[in-house]
Amino acid sequence: MLSVLFLGTSAARPTVERNVTGLMITREGESLLVDPGEGTQRQMMRYGASFAFREVFVSHFHADHYLGLIGLVRTLGLQGRTEPLVCYGPRGARRVIGAALALGFERSPFEVEIVELESGQELSRDGYVLSAFAVEHGAGALGLVLREAERPGRFDPDAARAAGVPEGPLWGELQRGRAVTLPDGRRVGPEAIVGAPRPGRKLVYAGDTRPCAATIQAAVNADLLIHEATFGAEEADRARDTQHATAAEAAQVAKMASVRQLVLTHVSARYSRDSTALLEEARAVFPETAVAKDGYVVEIRHRD
């Protein structure tokens, strides 16, 4: 399973309908908390997010993207957590996040490691890679890519039987790409029995940003692009001045990157109650678009 739970979808300040930014990415039981704005811990409780996550990613240091760490770390300590937590962020993270975590308590009840990332840096995980890329929002802001490793090709049981391979462990060896030796001494390779490797899934989170070439490049053929849409077309000048994006601009990024699905978030308070205009604006450019609400869940499925 690979899914995204949107914990908060408002830009800059919370509203009655939407909390500020926050989302949880979960893959095969592992969770990554992204941009925990203030109140994230309550949103996690409200929507059933696991508190057993080990890593946090902060895209940039505007308050609505990281101040929730203060209360969250305090809550985790009161819950008896002892496992270490790793916080990733752009250059300056040790100073900014470290200062934030010093508020409210002298010492964290568990180890919090702060790691500064550079654009292009990759973090290898079991079965996938996390990589950072630079976006256009000032102060070294970063986006994040989760890219799974290739999956084995499809196993053809009829071809295996025709080649005389008995069912059992030898089938598993072939599916893992290894040649096998049959009881009669013949060697059978996987070439005619297992299809070409299949791509893993790809998720891209752009954070706060102007539409930019870096996001397009990072999101090429992504299964899901999460892009901000702070404003509608009528506020295009303001979007440009504040280094944000309109819904149509985000949709154009998705179209140029040939992504499978676009989800818009970081919605200005003026659209908090009704984001229909943003959705229509984006779908006119890229039909496979949704506007996230707090508690919205997207499951990313394999293409085949």
Which are the catalytic amino acids?
64
Q: Rounded to whole angstroms, what are the CA distances from 140 to 37, 133, 137, 143, 219?
A: 18, 10, 8, 10, 19
Token representation of residue 30: 């592992």
DSSP for the chain, written as a single string: -EEEEEEE-BSSS--SS--BSEEEEEETTEEEEE---TTHHHHHHHHT--S---EEE-----GGGTTHHHHHHHHHHHTT--S-EEEEESTTHHHHHHHHHTSS-SS-SS-EEEEE--TT-EEEETTEEEEEEE-BSSTT-EEEEEEEPPBPPPB-HHHHHHTTPPSSHHHHHHHTT--EE-TTS-EE-STTTB---B---EEEE--S-B--HHHHHHHTT-SEEEEE--B-GGGHHHHHHTT--BHHHHHHHHHHHT-S-EEEE-B-GGGSS--HHHHHHHHTT-SSEEE--TT-EEE-----
